[in-house]
Every structure is written in C-alpha cells, then in structure tokens.
Chain A
Amino acid sequence: MKKKDPKADAKGDRKGRSIKDKGQKKSGRLAETLYNCPYLIAVSVTAILVMIRSDQIGVKAIAREFQGAAERIESCVSAETGGPNMENPDPVPDREAAAAETDSMEIDPENTDSINQNEGTCKDEKDETTNDKELNNDNADGEDTAGDPENSTENTGNIGKSEIDSEKDTPKGVTRFELYAPQEIDSYYYSDAGKVALTTEYPYAKENISYFNDAAFLGDSRTLGISDYAGLDEADFYCENGMTIYKILEPEGVTYQKTGDKVDLSQVLKQKRYGKIYIMLGMNELGYGNTAMYLEQYRAVVEQIKEWQPGAVIYIMANLHVSREMNNLQTEFNNININDKNAAAALLANGTDVFYLDANPLFTDAEGFLDSELTFDGVHLYAKHYDVWRDFLMEHAVQTGDAAGEDAAQPEGAGGEDAAPTRDAAGEDTVQTGGAAGEDTVQPGAAGPTGENL
C-alpha cells in the first residue's frame, strides 16, 4: 500500500496549492503529499506491520493458506490414485475402525497441554495433522467405506435403533453406540466419530417438575433456552451465550439466571448442594480445540463436580444437532462435529452417577438434521418447543435415595464417595462393554447419520 505515495506527483490538488507547488522542489511536494494523507499512511503502515507480525492475517497465514492448498491438491491426487481400492463396501471392519478411534481418543489428550489457541497455532495444527493422518491410516486399514460419501449416504436412510432396542437383557446403565461408516474429515477440530451415542440405558422414572427443585443446569445459549422457556422455575441455571466446557468452572464466572449476576461456579458448587446436575456444553467448542481436548476437559469438569457434589447425579446432555441449512461441512460447524463431541462426552457416562441423555431424536429428522420447522436460525429451538425437552428430562429421571441429602445421597447401587475410583473403573468398563454390545448389534448397512447427511 505504501507504493501509493509516489503517485504524489500525479495528485489532483484542488485547494489551489498547485500554483505554489510549481516553484518548489520535488521533495517538498512529496512531503506535502504525505502531509495530506495521514490516514492512508497510518493504515498502510499499521497494515504492513500487521502483515509482518500477525500469525492470523499476515504473511505467515498466507504461507499457511498456500501450504494448505498444496496439501489438499496433493491429497486429492493421492485419493484419486487410491480410489479404486476404496470402493469395496465391507461393513464388518467398522468395529476396528471405531475401536481404533476410541483408542486414539484416549491417547490424544497428551496434546492437551498445548491447548493455548493463540500461540503456536501453527505448530499445534501440524501435530494434529500428523495425528489425524495416523488416525486416518488406521481407518483406512480397517474399513473401506470411509471417505466414500455416496456409500454412507445410502446407508443413512434407516437409522435403525430397533436392532439395538431388541436386546433388552443387557445390564442397565450401559451407554450404547450405534456405529456407522465414518467419513474422512480433514480438520484440526474434529473427525467423524463413526458412532452415535444413545441415551444411557436405565430404568428411568417419570418424575414431576419438583424433581428439578434441587437441580443445576450448566450450559450455553441452548440451556439458556431451557431456563427461559421450559418453565423449570425452581432449578438453578448457570448458563450464558458462548459458554464452553473450558470456561464453565473458571473464576471469571458464569451468569446465574435467577439473579443475572456472574458467579464463580467453583465456589457455588463447593457451598451449595444439588441432587442433579445437568450439563450441556459443546457448541462453542466446535471451533475451539479439538475433540480430544474437549473430552479431557469434560472429564476434568465431571470429576471436579463429583468431588464437590458427592452423591449428585450428573446428566450429560447431548448437544442438539443443527438444521440442514446450518450444517456446513466447509467449516467446523456441522453435525458430524457435534456428533463427534457428543460421542466423546458420552464416554463419561457410567450408568451409576453419570448419565448421557440424547434429546436429539425428539427434534431431528430422519437424517439427523434439526427439523427446520422447529427453529429459526437452525440452532435454537423456538420457545414453544422447550416443553417437549422438559418432558423428556422428566421422563429420564434417575431416582436418588435422598435427593437433596447432605451427604448420603447415593444413586442406585453404587457405593459412596470412597468408592469413587471403583466407580470410575466400572465406568470405563461400561463404556467398553457398551461399545462392544453396540458392535454386536450393528448390522451391515445399519448406520447412524453420516457424512453429508449429518
């Protein structure tokens, strides 16, 4: 932009200075020109500085964009050459793929110490890319349908839950996953989980509204919707727009809806006792950190809450999907990513004191999109539909012996606080078995929402 300045001699001067100028030297005119365009110079100079310095818009970003484009072209080329091998639909290896993915989820968190978003994004990204690549390789070894969107699209018509529901004799408290052929995703933020987590199986009781008298809700704008429109006036809502799992326990606080004040949840949860804690966070994390970090942070939050609220039942609520219009595979903002987050969070459910509740089936169409009749922006339900959600929560109540009890509140079965480690282990186990049980029931062609459809 600086180059504009030499144009000085050609300037169209309207203020009659040109007469004076004629006698002066060129350098004098240049100086006057510069004097005449302070804003242009200010913007140009700052812009040049930013271009040099900034990671996000400067030359580094341009270099990255070029590199990214080159890589994409490369991968396109290699995908084309490797194409024919991939067209053999064989659903069985899906399990291995899913298992591999679960494994990698456990491993990935080692990266979490470099969560810092602003610094070293570039480096992080590269690490992640390699990670992803390994992951993808794993996938490619195991299952052949990945990255074949046509194939997965065909599968999505029948989101069959019937196969799984038919097996009733499994132990209660299991969180099952419905598998499907995942799509290859080239993103730092997420991958295709290849599985949909289902509501934790449990003989839930149907409760009335007083069940929520000792309930706390932690969440983002959608939880704010529950607070505003579901009519749960007695429950405590700690939620606000843009809230994330990373920020929820931070001292900066979260808005307590009854007073409208910011409160520090880590203080509140130490002092106040709740019987039930509902958490729904994950939308604002779609483009912040990746799923492994999300899971790790979620795990930390849940553990922390367990410590502060012994005996409370923790409900992990699935993030609602978005509508077809909002689903954008070009960005991180799509149902594959949401599902990836949900499937990760569901791993924390243990069926004893942590439960996973998926309200999506109430509001989504056959392909897993949020029904566009129920939403204006494709993300938030209309106020009048929160009733349905509330009813769903009332129908999925876990009875605690002594709900608001100070110390003895125990969810069914499981031991007290001291048993926490065992419970944890059990939790892990359940997840595994849950997964395994899921695998058993998965049939060729039966698949959850995938690819473009999600």
Chain B
Amino acid sequence: MLFSSIGFLFRFLPVFMLIYLIAPARFRNLVLLVGSLIFYGAGEPYFVLLLVFSVTANYGLSRCMFRKPPFSGKARGRKKAVWRRSVLIAALILDFGILFVFKYWDFTADTVNTLAGRGILPFLRLTLPLGISFYTFQMVSYQIDCYHGTITEPAGFVPFAAYVSMFPQLVAGPIVRYQDVESRMRSRRIGVRNLENGLKLFTAGLGLKVLLANQIGTLWNVIMSAGAGSLHAAVAWLGAAAYSFQIYFDFWGYSLMAAGLGKMLGFKIPENFNAPYASHSVSEFWRRWHITLGRWFRDYVYFPMGGSRRGRLRTVFNLFVVWACTGLWHGADWNFLLWGMLFFVILILEKNIYGERIEKTKVLGHLYTLALIPVTWVVFAVTDMKQLTAYLGNMFGIHGTKILVGIPQLIRYLQEYGILLLVCFLFITPFPSRIYRRFRDRWYMAAALLVVFWFSVYEIMQGSNNPFLYFRF
C-alpha cells in the first residue's frame, strides 16, 4: 500500500488512527504491530509471512544473546563472549542470507555463469519483497547493538516487532535504530499537537511526492522513451535534471510522510534529508542525503572496520567496501555497483585533493555539486549498460546515431515543464523547509497545506481513475 493512494489515505489511515487512539496505552504497540502487518499484507499477501518469520527468528536470537550460555564451567566470561558472538553471527547469516537469496541470488548466478561460460547456478527469479532492504538493516542494527551492549535491556516481543514493522518506515525507510524509538515504545503520549504537526508534515511529503516527483518524472520518462543515443546534449542534461528532481522529491516526500506519520503515532522518526542538493561538495551531499542509511553504513561497517584510524591505505579500502555495499544495497546490478564506485572515487579525490578548496568557494562548490550529482543519477537510473554509455555520451556531445531529439523538442519540453522545473529548483534550496518551520503554526500555512492535500488527492484520483493519465500517451 502506498502512502499516496486513496486506499491508504481514506481507508487504512483513518480507521487505524481511530483504533490506535481509542485503544488503551498498553495495547498501542500491539495495535501498531497488527495494523502494520495489515498494511504490509495488503500489498504483499505472501511476503508478510516472510516478514513475520524474520522478525520472530531475530527476536528469538536477540533474546539468546541476553541469556546465559547453555554451557557452563570455568572461564564463564570468555565463554559468554563466544556465545554472544556466535548468536550474532547466526543472526547476521539469517538476515543477510534471506536478503541475499531474494535480492542478490540472480545477480550472483548471472555473474558466475558468465564467468564460467556455462550455467552453473540456476536462476530463482524471485520477486523482491517490499522493503526487505530496509527492515533487514533495522534488524541487523538491533542485533549488533545488542551484541555491543548499546541496547542493555532486551525489548519485549511486541515492541520489537512493532519497531521493525512499523508501517510509516517499513517499506522505504528511514532506517530507524531501536534506540531512536526505545523510550517511546515504553510509553508515549499522543497530544493533539503531535497529530496536528504530524499531519502537516505528512501533507508536505505527500505534496512533494504527488505534485512534484510524479509530475517531473514524466519528463524523464519522455526523454528516455525517445531513446538514449539520439539526444542532443542539452536534452540529455535536462533529462538528468528531471530524474534528479524526481528521485529527490520522491524519496524526500516519502521520508517526510514517514516522519509525519511517526509523529502522529507518538514517535520521533529521524530526519532523512537535509537539502542535499544545496551542498558544496559530494561529501557534504552524502551527509545530507538519506542520512539514516549513511549513518548505518558508518556505524555498522565503516567504524567496525577501523574507519580512518588505521592508516591511509586501510581508510581507502574501508571506503571502497562501504561504497561498494552502498551501491549494491540500492539494487543488484552492475550499474549500481558502478554508481557506488563513482562516489568512492569522487570522495577519495575530495578527501585528498580538492575537497577543501571547493568547499571554501561557495559558488564553485554549488556548481560542482549540481553538475556532478545528475551524472551520478544517470548511472543510477539506467540499468542497461549499452544505454547508459549512450546516454552519458549524449550528455557530453558524443553521438552514435544522428541527433533525433534536438532543439525543437527541447523547446517544447521547456514550454511544457518550464514552470515545474522552476518550482523544483526552488524546492531543492533549504528555503522551503525554513519557511515551513517558521510559519508552521500560522493559519495561512494550514490553509496552504489544505490546498496541497486536496490537490494531491485530486491528482491521485486522476491517476487511479485513468491509470495512464500518469503517462499521458
């Protein structure tokens, strides 16, 4: 179930909120858990069982970690460490094993078969369970935190299951750590202010998703439909910009909706985006883009490997691992790996060569970031290698065939999408957030958001009434 659907907005959410608010405080976690499973099950009727299994198994393992080792004798301390470590490894194998089978098996099989020149590994062709990358990472973070003793007291089953499957962040993040919600899991008060502000935040996110991301997305679709390879450089850059806008507003909107819903439920879901496109460097971009994922990789991969404290060479290697993983986390395909590697190279260069200089000159930093990020998104977006090289070639004026999409089409695109592009550009600056925060409690902000809400609903209706209006052939 998508947040931006009639089913969620006018069926699930009101009914769920009513029950949630009426329910006595001690049953709220249970209501949240059941509601989340229904939310997930509505879209993934079979994989909800996988989710239930994963959560139960992880919970069992995490409880084992807090128990005495089943064997006793001398040197209890050491044995306890061994026990805890083996439980952690079991949990990691379980979580990453499931993720690997569903997400990476076919990719691995394809690679192995190509290398071997014959079909060694069979393809499974499984569909990817919704949100598996997100909830797996949350459970892994919980296990590791238990192991390190950051979580001192084991959670109850219902709070743990509710934490993993909590519907606001289940399918598209943010990746919440248990510590972020621990105290609220025990007790939380849902004031009318939370509901008010949460709903406002949700509306803002809904607007970004429906009114900006979905709309500008069609431009990217139109340009890609014309075909990489025959694009004028200006058109290729326009397409890259459109995709950059789309992915940002889509993801940011979704994160805001999650944060808003979290607030309505009495939680505090961490911020995931902080005007990333307004960064002065790519390093800064990654501190402001998908913050919770960056935090996860930093805390659970980069730091445990020694971070930057084990010498220069080791730092480079650590960064390499982190960015290879980040790339592959986004999808099991070569272009995602390439995308991660691109960031690895850029970040190494920034760290060692020109980073400081660029960040000092503000204008240069902005221009540099704004020029580089769309290129990385093209690598991200185009999974087919032939098309990818063709598109990148077009961006830099290299054409295999003659230019079919040239200036006349560019003019038409600009006529059609010009205003939207301007609005998008406005929304990548930090100002809209600032304005929102500053005037959040004024009546005219409420009025503006009300318009955004119903206009979004209208757009959703248009799309669902006629599923193709979204494309408009």
Select which of A40, A283, A377 is within 8 A of B196 by beta carbon. A40
B450 within 8 A of A: yes
A229 contacts B449, C-beta separation under 8 Å: no
Complex Cα spacing A185 to B443, Å: 50
The A378-406 residues at the B interface (CB cut-off 8 A) are 379-380, 382-384
B14 within 8 A of A: yes
17 further interface pairs, Cβ-Cβ under 8 Å (given A39-B200, A376-B225): A1-B17, A12-B190, A13-B191, A36-B192, A36-B193, A37-B192, A46-B450, A46-B454, A57-B6, A229-B405, A242-B472, A284-B469, A286-B468, A287-B465, A333-B468, A376-B224, A380-B473
Contacts A39-B449, A39-B450, A383-B230 given; does A4 touch B473 at CB 8 Å: no
Select which of A3, A286, A384 is within 8 A of B229 by beta carbon. A384
Select which of B192, B443, B473 is within 8 A of A283 by beta carbon. B473
Q: List, sorted by A's number, 17 A–B pairs whose CB atoms are closer than 8 Å.
A: A3-B18, A7-B191, A10-B189, A11-B191, A12-B189, A50-B10, A56-B6, A57-B6, A57-B457, A58-B10, A241-B472, A284-B473, A287-B465, A331-B467, A333-B467, A376-B221, A382-B225
| A 192-219 binary contact with B (CB < 8 Å = 1; else 0) | 0000000000000000000000000000
Residue of A220, A229, A383 contacting most chain B CB atoms (<10 Å): A383
B435 within 8 A of A: no
Complex Cα spacing A284 to B462, Å: 13
B21 within 8 A of A: yes
Complex Cα spacing A288 to B405, Å: 31
Contacts A1-B17, A46-B454 given; does A384 touch B227 at CB 8 Å: yes
Contacts A8-B192, A51-B10 given; does A242 touch B473 at CB 8 Å: yes
Select which of B195, B225, B453 is within 8 A of A377 by beta carbon. B225
Complex Cα spacing A27 to B14, Å: 25
Complex Cα spacing A37 to B200, Å: 10
Complex Cα spacing A228 to B410, Å: 12
Ranked nearest first, the 4 interchain pairs of A and B with the lowest CB-CB distance are A382-B227, A12-B191, A11-B191, A37-B196
Q: Which residues of B contact A (CB under 8 A)?
A: 6, 10-11, 14, 17-18, 21-22, 189-196, 199-200, 203, 221, 224-227, 229-230, 401, 404-405, 409, 412, 415, 443, 446-447, 449-450, 453-454, 457, 461, 465-469, 471-473
Nearest-CB distance from B221 to chain A (Å)?
6
Residues of A within 8 A of B189 (CB): 10-12
Residues of B within 8 A of A1 (CB): 14, 17-18
A332 within 8 A of B: yes
Complex Cα spacing A422 to B277, Å: 68
A107 within 8 A of B: no
The A286-301 residues at the B interface (CB cut-off 8 A) are 286-288
Select which of A4, A58, A222, A376 is within 8 A of B227 by beta carbon. A376
Nearest-CB distance from A342 to chain B (Å)?
15
A69 within 8 A of B: no
Complex Cα spacing A36 to B229, Å: 56
A39 contacts B401, C-beta separation under 8 Å: no
A11 contacts B192, C-beta separation under 8 Å: yes
Complex Cα spacing A4 to B17, Å: 8
Residues of A within 8 A of B230 (CB): 382-384
Nearest-CB distance from B262 to chain A (Å)?
15
Q: Which residue of A lies closest to B189 (CB)?
A: A12
Residues of A within 8 A of B447 (CB): 42
Residues of A within 8 A of B193 (CB): 11-14, 36-37
Nearest-CB distance from A386 to chain B (Å)?
8
A43 within 8 A of B: yes
Residues of B within 8 A of A260 (CB): 412, 415
Residues of A within 8 A of B471 (CB): 377, 379
The tally of CB-CB contacts under 8 A between chains A and B is 143
Residues of B within 8 A of A47 (CB): 10, 14
Residues of A within 8 A of B404 (CB): 228-229, 383-384
Interface of B is mostly: helix
Complex Cα spacing A373 to B80, Å: 58
The A31-80 residues at the B interface (CB cut-off 8 A) are 33, 36-40, 42-43, 46-47, 50-51, 56-58, 62
Residues of A within 8 A of B472 (CB): 221, 241-242, 284
Complex Cα spacing A42 to B196, Å: 10
Residues of B within 8 A of A225 (CB): 226
Select which of B194, B221, B412, B450 is within 8 A of A42 by beta carbon. B450
Complex Cα spacing A220 to B447, Å: 38
Select which of A12, A222, A228, A242 is within 8 A of B469 by beta carbon. A242
Complex Cα spacing A359 to B80, Å: 72
Complex Cα spacing A196 to B472, Å: 25
Q: Which residue of B lies closest to A386 (CB)?
A: B404
Complex Cα spacing A7 to B24, Å: 12
Q: Which residue of A lies closest to B22 (CB)?
A: A3
Contacts A4-B17, A283-B468 given; does A39 touch B196 at CB 8 Å: yes
Contacts A11-B191, A39-B196, A260-B412 given; does A56 touch B465 at CB 8 Å: yes
Complex Cα spacing A297 to B180, Å: 60
Complex Cα spacing A228 to B193, Å: 54
A102 within 8 A of B: no
Residues of A within 8 A of B415 (CB): 260
Residues of A within 8 A of B401 (CB): 384
A375 within 8 A of B: yes
B450 contacts A375, C-beta separation under 8 Å: no
A134 within 8 A of B: no
Contacts A40-B192, A286-B468, A377-B225 given; does A7 touch B446 at CB 8 Å: no
Complex Cα spacing A123 to B224, Å: 41
Residues of B within 8 A of A14 (CB): 193
Nearest-CB distance from B17 to chain A (Å)?
7
Complex Cα spacing A283 to B194, Å: 46
B221 contacts A56, C-beta separation under 8 Å: no
Complex Cα spacing A364 to B404, Å: 23
Q: Which residue of A lies closest to B196 (CB)?
A: A37
Complex Cα spacing A312 to B227, Å: 34
Nearest-CB distance from B124 to chain A (Å)?
19
Residues of B within 8 A of A286 (CB): 468
Complex Cα spacing A4 to B191, Å: 9
The A339-372 residues at the B interface (CB cut-off 8 A) are none
Complex Cα spacing A156 to B21, Å: 55
Q: Which residue of A lies closest to B221 (CB)?
A: A377
Complex Cα spacing A149 to B192, Å: 54
Nearest-CB distance from B229 to chain A (Å)?
7
Residues of B within 8 A of A380 (CB): 225-226, 473
B21 contacts A287, C-beta separation under 8 Å: no
The A17-40 residues at the B interface (CB cut-off 8 A) are 33, 36-40
Complex Cα spacing A287 to B189, Å: 46
Complex Cα spacing A228 to B447, Å: 43
Q: Which residue of A lies closest to B404 (CB)?
A: A383
Complex Cα spacing A23 to B447, Å: 32
Nearest-CB distance from A14 to chain B (Å)?
7
A5 within 8 A of B: yes
Complex Cα spacing A173 to B170, Å: 60
Contacts A5-B192, A384-B401 given; does A287 touch B466 at CB 8 Å: yes
Complex Cα spacing A36 to B200, Å: 13
Contacts A4-B21, A37-B193 given; does A288 touch B446 at CB 8 Å: no
Residues of A within 8 A of B11 (CB): 62
Q: Which residue of B lies closest to A38 (CB)?
A: B446
| A 223-254 binary contact with B (CB < 8 Å = 1; else 0) | 00100110000000000011000000000000
